[in-house]
Structure 1
């Protein structure tokens, strides 16, 4: 059976600050940080993937599996976690994935300069194959991780 979680969306309309209110959640954020409901995730901190980079945006997805990938790929200690979040302001398509691998935004990944409010944590999500994660980590370490930066 083919995994079509991130299948191209041929009816895609770009998401921007001007039309993001039409995008329905729930939304998810993946990390290894231990968070609680009510916590705010904000931009301006080190990247989960490259500690030399300070992030200008906070990233999230409308697909739990995408946020799970972010959690599993994040550096640091702790277990991968996926939180349900609510954007506290405008957001847009994540240009790191939109149109880079597939047409449109099949991962339903977004970014915002505004905080995300944590409203809960999900206990399980569809995990990626460990071999895929190993390969992706190698690509990121080699500086070829264009989908994660």
Structure 2
């Protein structure tokens, strides 16, 4: 266990991709982001941020940090309880996030933006985003 409070726990991953790989998870169950209370999500991020800063100051001497969340099976989520991976990175480590980056012209980008804005309008009924 790395951290625990009344809302979140942070613990070492038993199958780390690099030394020091930490998982940060809310105690309250949520399958994915759609189910996660936004205030709890904000607190989870704050703890992950603090863990990342702690990793940078630790004796592990990492060169960088990735914070990764997989939401849904298409995003490679295989444990259906929201959690953030805080992954220390080292020059020449073997962990890779690889993709073929798309090239989109401005019309396609605007079309994508219209779709995202429509999804965000649906969320407005939940109220404004507020800090915790």
Shorter-chain TM-score tier: under 0.3
Greater relative CO, 1 or 2 (CA 8 Å, sep 6+): 1
TM-score normalised over the length of structure 2: 0.26
Q: Name the structure where helix makes up a greater proportion of residues.
A: 2
Q: Work out which of the two has the higher radius of gyration on C-alpha atoms and give 1 or 2.
A: 2
